[in-house]
Homo-oligomer: A and B are copies of this chain.
């Protein structure tokens, strides 16, 4: 099964677009500060969604020629509006399926893939297809999260169960919310050379209030809350258990709380 709009586990609401925007701002430096493409290089952003990362990518590499594609026309429209509002002019948008992109082999110097593979039922095949679009010597950069990397203080069985529900629903939609830890074998098996993975751990305690708000509350907990209706309708958790789990995630935002999560950033060469 491949992903279509209806399967996207995070949904497409306004609030979701806001959440992705908040996430992008808080994590920009951690995830993206070391990604810069030279002037004139042809860069494909494969799976741009509503453009949260597109803006960062385009600003960091203002003289690269960026092509951003997504399977959802609705997302593309929002990404275009967002990029236009920022006065960015080096991005071209195009709707398209990652598994049948309308580009000739070796059309790009570099490909950038962020928070996309987690939603695909065959990420290895996607990486192989993308490899054919990169010229020899070009690179791929992949960034993914891993919900199994989330742990916190105080610990909570209900909060962990709520997170496992999100992982399960994403798997049922054909994706893999634990994909971050797999980037190394995925890229090696897809034929990339010099594969290098650098984990980017988000560590949050009360001495880092921007992350308490921007990551623990508005990114991670908001994302878990996004599957509430499905979890309750399908009775994966009781309403009381669910509310306890969410309350316990917020509890980690108190002055004595701690929250940990790790993103994985991988690069490979063709």
Whether A181 contacts B260 in the complex (CB less than 8 A), given A148-B155, A149-B151, A151-B148, comes out as yes
* Option from B146, B196, B207, B258 in Cβ contact (under 8 Å) with A181: B258
Collect the chain B residues with CB atoms within 8 Å of residue A257's CB: 185
Collect the chain B residues with CB atoms within 8 Å of residue A256's CB: 184-185, 188-189
1/0 per residue, CB under 8 A from B, across A182-213: the answer is: 10110011000001111101010111000000
Q: How far is the CA of A257 from the CA of B197 in the complex (A)?
A: 13
* Option from B151, B185, B206, B255 in Cβ contact (under 8 Å) with A258: B185
Q: How far is the CA of A197 from the CA of B206 in the complex (A)?
A: 11
The yes or no answer to A153 lying at the interface (CB within 8 A) is: yes
* Option from B149, B188, B203, B205 in Cβ contact (under 8 Å) with A260: B149
User: Is B260 within 8 A of A199, CB to CB?
Assistant: yes
Collect the chain B residues with CB atoms within 8 Å of residue A153's CB: 181-182, 185
A121 CB to nearest chain B CB (Å): 17
The yes or no answer to A152 lying at the interface (CB within 8 A) is: yes
Collect the chain B residues with CB atoms within 8 Å of residue A196's CB: 207
Return the chain B residue nearest A179 by Cβ.
B153
Collect the chain B residues with CB atoms within 8 Å of residue A155's CB: 148, 178
A205 CB to nearest chain B CB (Å): 4
Q: How far is the CA of A197 from the CA of B205 in the complex (A)?
A: 9
1/0 per residue, CB under 8 A from B, across A251-270: the answer is: 00001111010100000000
Return the chain B residue nearest A264 by Cβ.
B203
Return the chain B residue nearest A149 by Cβ.
B151
A113 CB to nearest chain B CB (Å): 18
12 A–B contacts from the bound complex (CB under 8 Å) = A148-B151, A149-B260, A153-B185, A184-B256, A185-B205, A188-B206, A188-B255, A188-B256, A197-B258, A198-B203, A199-B260, A201-B262
